[in-house]
Chains A and B, each alone.
Chain A
Amino acid sequence: MSIRDIFRKNQKKRYATIPTEKAKNDVPEGIMMKCPECRKNVFTKDLMKNLKVCPTCDHHMKMTAWERVDIFLDEDSFVSMDDHLETVNPLNFPSYTEKIKADGQKTGLNEAVLTGIGKLDGQQVAIAIMDSHFRMGSMGSVVGEKITRAVEKATELGIPFIIYTASGGARMQEGVLSLMQMAKTSVALRRHSDHGLLYISILTHPTTGGVSASFASVGDINIAEPKALIGFAGRRVIEQTVREKLPEDFQTAEFLMNHGQLDAIIHRKEMREKVASIVHLHTTKEVTK
């Protein structure tokens, strides 16, 4: 089966879910899911209708990249890019290649980000959607390259670039190459910005480390999903360093909002409409009375 076929298959089976190991034991696979926040069981069908937001406690659960395509972009408008790029094992880490292959099969993605061109309420946008089900969304060479190419495409076409971030940070197994992807995506974003084009960063749970400290934080507009974990250093590392209790809401979207790091926190149900509206405000050229 070619990579393309995997994608087609995945596209048809739109609401594919990835039950956790624990969920598998708790409830019949696929039919019901347990909310990781309030522990209530919910019918998968109902959960999907509710955009994977818990009907009981409003917890925004993790989504796959393809699920986000479905709920965010105009129907059948999305064309993916660079699905053919393949991760290599530059530092020869044992079992790295196998792990990448396994996650590829699990998610139907070639790497931890899905990129392409699509339409948002009729407006053409370039988009990158990170998927934390693939190596925790960590950024290696292919993730950096795919995002960079998507930004370049946006610059070439003169259209907005939108990213959904979800990442644990750097991809350890690619060493300093992983670190340098922060700089690589930044030089591309700089050029996009210099063309007067709009960049919207939508931070979702979790966005930490090198991804938080690069493209995720420098949107013209930074938006987060409610309660998303967003931060530079890990909570445990900080607790060990400062030896003081951190507030309950530390590094949540709400914490960042209170500290002036975000433009808005937007509920998943309103995300499409609100972001489309922002894009309209940046592309409307004529003055209408």
Chain B
Amino acid sequence: MIKVLPFEEPIVQLKTKIEELKEYTASADVDMSAEIIHLEARLKKLEHEIYENMEPWDRVQVARHPSRPTTRDYIQLLCTDFMELHGDRLYGDDAAIIGGIALFEGRPITIIGHQRGIDTKENIKRNFGMPHPEGYRKALRLMKQAEKFKRPIICMIDTKGAYPGKAAEERGQSEAIARNLVEMAGLKVPVISIVIGEGGSGGALALGVANHIHMLENSTYSVISPEGAASILWKDASLAKQAAEAMKITAPDLKKMEIIDTVIQEVHGGAHKNIEAQAEYMKETLINSLIELEKLTPDELIENRYIKFKNIGEFNE
């Protein structure tokens, strides 16, 4: 049973009613087909109204949906011959980030992403997709490997943030994130990042210094979670819904601010409703990005990334 989100409840209620009428019609002599047709038309309209006018908080709920597809799902649907590569060669293998080599549309690529678990057991193993320094260092190792073999890099961002823990601090969480930022800036191959779920703060950005940044329509990218923002700004975490609006964290918000390149359309109600269709939407954007970036020389790719980030910021001169 897929979890129903609060904003979708009117749709579910109407669907249930239609089902009931259909059953009733089948078992009784009364013909309700006119009523059913009427309600089905209303359902279509309602779905359109709700899914085309999602509030920021609705999108946050979709981004956090327990059945939302993860990095691994998209790798399986977009790529062939995926070979996962492990370890940072320094300390360990962080399961909160996965990465490896694969074929995408006939070309070898390196693909890396945050990896959440699909149930409690896996979430414990993968630390709920919140990396330690070794996760970022593994990601960097794979990126440098991609650079050596002239493979484009695709990063999938899906984390609440870097893990705030004692061991993470001891092993240099700050340095690991910071190092990725400066090293990604200098990569001589195309880098494309896609935010597929939650893009939380520095822990997300550490896979995000890309030539092109895309976001799934119902994903978020923010400096702090809505709950965190609400408790800092208004001393009340229950105002998260208001904070989600105020902080401008949704894909359409970031597109408006010209921070990201593309908002990738989601299937109605969110990626989890049809993962295959969602992967197709994503594939189209990825192919366009790659074709554009593959025309650039290594120096042009670095310059392109430089200009992209140099231009982010709002102030009066």
Contact = CB atoms under 8 A, between A and B. Distances in A.
Interface stretch (B33-41, B66-74, B97-105, B178-186): B178-186
B285 interface: no
A91 interface: yes
Nearest to B317: A85
A58 interface: no
A176 B209 contact: no
B162 interface: yes
Interface string B165-188: 110111111110111011111100
Interface residues of A, number: 60
B177 A172 contact: no
Interface of A: 84-88, 90-91, 93, 141-142, 144-145, 148, 170, 172-184, 186-191, 193-194, 209-210, 212-218, 230-234, 237-238, 241-242, 244, 246, 250-251, 259-261
Nearest to A85: B315
B164 A194 contact: no
18 contacts: A85-B316, A85-B317, A91-B248, A175-B223, A175-B247, A176-B223, A179-B222, A181-B312, A183-B185, A183-B208, A184-B309, A184-B310, A213-B178, A214-B181, A233-B162, A234-B164, A238-B166, A242-B166
B182 A190 contact: yes
B221 interface: yes
Contact of B312 (A91, A180, A188, A214): A180
Interface string B202-244: 1001001100000000000111100001001100000000000
Contact of A210 (B172, B201, B221): B201
Nearest to A212: B174
Interface of B: 162-166, 168-175, 177-179, 181-186, 201-202, 205, 208-209, 221-224, 229, 232-233, 246-249, 254, 257, 259, 305-306, 309-310, 312-317
Given A175-B247, A183-B209, A215-B178, A142 B223 contact: no
Contacts of A241: 163-165
A184 B311 CA distance: 8
B172 A175 contact: no
Contacts of A176: 221-223, 247-249, 254, 257, 259
Given A183-B205, A251-B169, A177 B313 contact: yes
B241 to A, nearest CB: 16
Nearest to A139: B223
Closest 4 CB pairs of A and B: A233-B164, A141-B313, A186-B181, A190-B185
A261 B181 contact: no
Given A172-B223, A176-B254, A234-B164, A213 B177 contact: yes
A178 B315 CA distance: 12
B166 A183 contact: no
Contacts of B209: 183, 186-187
Nearest to A173: B233
B170 A259 contact: yes
A248 B168 CA distance: 17
A194 B205 CA distance: 22
B174 A213 contact: yes
Given A183-B205, A187-B310, A218 B182 contact: yes
Nearest to A181: B313
Contacts of B171: 259
A52 to B, nearest CB: 26
A187 B177 contact: no
Given A141-B314, A172-B233, A176-B249, A238 B309 contact: no
Nearest to A193: B182
Contact of A191 (B249, B257, B306): B306
Contacts of A216: 174, 178
Nearest to B167: A242
A217 B178 CA distance: 6
